[in-house]
Amino acid sequence: MNIPANLKYSKTDEWFDPATHKAGLTDYAQSQLSDIVFVEIMVAVGDTLQVGKQMASVESVKAAAESYAPVNSKVTAVNEGLPDTPELLNSDPYGKGWLVQLEGGDASGLMDAAAYTSYCEERAH
């Protein structure tokens, strides 16, 4: 499992990068979903998001999932090309598979890598 130390994590399996302000689905989430065939980003630049607001809808060959805002924030960019290449969510979840870029996020309510690692391990049992 790839859980980079520089990122913060939500209980609904989103990552948030305090340096770049980008957010996306974690490696754990993509591995649970298996092959992702569809992603739809449901927020637009300028939208104000509260924690828990739905940002994206994701479908894999076996499941459907939603992605939620990890922090209270405003959307400054969305990954426009992602719907045409949803497999990037599987192959590069922390890089080319980013979903949105957010402004004004307070990451203090999120887990660090160590806490998220135990959170994922707990659910594996």
Q: Which residues bind another protein (CB under 8 A)?
A: 37-38, 40, 42, 57, 59-64, 66
To the nearest whole angstrom, how small is the minimum distance from the Cβ of residue 35 to another protein? 10
Question: Which H or E element spans position 58?
Answer: strand 54-60
Contact in structure between 123 and 26 (CB atoms under 8 Å): no
**Minimum CB distance to another protein smaller for 26 or for 60:** 60
**Minimum CB distance to another protein smaller for 59 or for 92:** 59
To the nearest whole angstrom, how small is the minimum distance from the Cβ of residue 86 to another protein? 10
To the nearest whole angstrom, how small is the minimum distance from the Cβ of residue 15 to another protein? 22
To the nearest whole angstrom, how small is the minimum distance from the Cβ of residue 62 to another protein? 7
**Minimum CB distance to another protein smaller for 40 or for 106:** 40
CA angle 55, 77, 62 (to 5 degrees): 35
Tell me whether strands 64-68 and 8-9 are parallel, antiparallel or unpaired. Answer: unpaired
Nearest to 52 by CA among 33, 31, 30, 73: 73
In angstroms, rounded to a whole number, what is the distance separating the alpha carbons of residues 9 and 42? 20
**Minimum CB distance to another protein smaller for 42 or for 113:** 42
